[in-house]
């Protein structure tokens, strides 16, 4: 194999072979006849020219032709490789997972991912907001693999997504937004016996709030299934407010089945 002498030529030859993702370590392994400063300058120059992008330090994505105009590659293109680069277990979650589970009325401006380990800083990466949620015990059994242009990525299943959006309601626009999403997700949610183990990953208040919301959107069948699962799980239903961040008193109206203090009125926009 001829020695590589030009970084751009190498990137373009890799793209021709369908290889769009590389790390600085990959570049160093080429042993280009240039200094480290010159190598970094070459990477910076290719970035400025819209040939490559760097969504993370020392991690690069060659921009495919179909994304050249905007110069932004969607995170689904590289998220699995990025998480492997960072050595993290992960799954695509919240609004991003909802969109991939049938919530077609919403197109999130943020790409949300749940990871384990140390906190990962959220931020805008090449025009796309990457938002990370930390969870030390990922319920990977309840994720699915969704095909991408570069392989597959882990995505929360509908049931995991439903619990996640309740637990992290502030990150997706509030309980009204949660209710709207549940209306769409409910078509693909199944709360049979095989989902019993999923409940151990979530607190009782989160499960209670999901059950309450399922009744609010008038999906009594799913609410009944969840209630049966919660009873079997052995989790206790202590009195909790519907919205944690809103003040409440014990003399407020209470939903007795789910032991929810109704300290917040849910408003669902027209879908």
Residues in the chain: 271
Judged by DSSP in three states, 89 sits in coil
How distant is the alpha carbon of residue 127 from its chain centre? 17
Domains of the chain by residue range: 7-67, 75-261
pLDDT at 270: 42
pLDDT score for 4: 64
Which of helix, strand or coil describes residue 160? helix
5-14 long-range Cβ contacts below 8 angstroms, 24+ apart: 5/32, 5/33, 6/32, 7/32, 7/39, 7/42, 7/43, 7/46, 8/42, 8/46, 8/51, 11/46, 11/51, 11/52, 11/62, 12/51, 14/62
pLDDT at 271: 39
**75-261: CATH class:** alpha beta
Q: What is the pLDDT of residue 82?
A: 96
Measured CA to CA, the distance from residue 85 to residue 53 in angstroms comes to 16
Cα separation values, 229 from 145, 207, 208, 233, Å: 25, 10, 11, 6
Instruction: Output the tens digit of pLDDT for each of the chain's 271 residues.
Output: 445 678 999 999 999 999 999 999 999 999 888 889 999 999 999 999 999 999 999 999 999 999 988 777 999 999 999 999 999 999 999 999 999 998 876 666 899 999 999 999 999 877 788 999 999 999 999 999 999 999 999 999 999 999 999 999 999 999 999 999 999 999 999 999 999 999 999 999 999 999 999 999 999 999 999 999 999 999 999 999 999 999 999 899 999 999 999 999 998 764 3
Per-residue confidence (pLDDT) for residue 3, from 0 to 100? 56
Per-residue pLDDT tens digits for 210-254: 999 999 999 999 999 999 999 999 999 999 999 999 999 989 999
């Amino acid at each position: 194999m001829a020695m590589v002498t030009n970084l751009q030529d190498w990137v373009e030859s890799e793209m021709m072979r369908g290889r769009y993702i590389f790390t600085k370590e990959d570049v160093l392994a080429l042993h280009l006849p240039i200094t480290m400063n010159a190598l970094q300058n070459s990477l910076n120059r290719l970035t400025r020219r819209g040939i490559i992008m760097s969504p993370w330090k020392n991690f690069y994505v060659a921009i495919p032709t179909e994304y050249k105009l905007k110069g932004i590659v969607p995170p689904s293109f590289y998220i699995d490789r990025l998480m492997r680069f960072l050595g993290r277990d992960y799954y695509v979650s919240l609004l991003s997972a909802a969109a991939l589970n049938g919530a077609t009325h919403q197109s999130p401006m943020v790409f949300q991912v749940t990871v384990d380990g140390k906190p990962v800083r959220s931020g805008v990466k090449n025009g796309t907001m990457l938002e990370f949620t930390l969870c030390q015990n990922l319920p990977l059994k309840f994720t699915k693999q969704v095909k991408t242009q570069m392989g597959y990525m882990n995505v929360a299943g509908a049931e995991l997504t439903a619990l996640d959006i309740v637990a992290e309601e502030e990150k997706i626009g509030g309980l009204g937004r949660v209710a709207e999403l549940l209306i769409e997700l409910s078509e693909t949610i199944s709360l049979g016996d095989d989902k019993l183990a999923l409940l151990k990953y979530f607190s009782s208040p989160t499960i209670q709030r999901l059950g309450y919301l399922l009744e609010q959107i008038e999906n009594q069948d799913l609410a009944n299934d969840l209630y049966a699962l919660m009873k079997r799980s052995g989790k206790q239903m202590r009195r909790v407010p519907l919205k944690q961040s809103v003040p409440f008193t014990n003399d407020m109206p209470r939903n007795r089945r789910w032991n929810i203090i109704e300290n917040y009125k849910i408003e669902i926009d027209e879908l």
